[in-house]
Amino acid sequence: MARPTPPPSPRRTRLRRRLAAYPWRRVGVLAAVSFVLSNLLIIYLFGFRDRFLGRLSATFFVGFCLLSVTFLVVIPFIGWASRQWFGAGWAGSTPPTPRRPTSRPAPPQRSSTLS
């Protein structure tokens, strides 16, 4: 039997609306231009000698793989393991939301002995 999916939270729907309205084409163009310019600068500074560009791209690929494994596997696993092994109440209760004062606090009194 399939679980019924809960309705999306208001925060999630606001995030979806903001992401849908975001200018993704401009972001893509900006990322591509910065990638090309950074590679041109690296080639200009270091050239093609000693296979520097190949070593740099291999290092970038390894770093990218390590970061992606960290964010896509390790961090979700830590969250899952803490919920499964220690229980949902392990993290404690949620902090209370701060309440705004309804009246203005009195200004501090000036001491007559220090003046």
Q: What tokens appear for 41 in the block?
A: 């600068």
Going by the DSSP 8-state scheme, the letter that residue 87 receives in this structure is -
Helices (H), the chain: 10-20, 24-46, 52-69, 75-86
Cα→Cα distances 63→66, 67, 87, Å: 5, 6, 34
Q: How confident is the model over 31-86, as pLDDT tens digits?
A: 889 888 888 888 888 777 788 878 888 888 888 888 888 888 888 888 888 888 88
Question: Residue 64 and residue 74: Cα distance in Å, rounded?
Answer: 14
pTM over 0.95: no
Question: Tokens for 99?
Answer: 């309440």
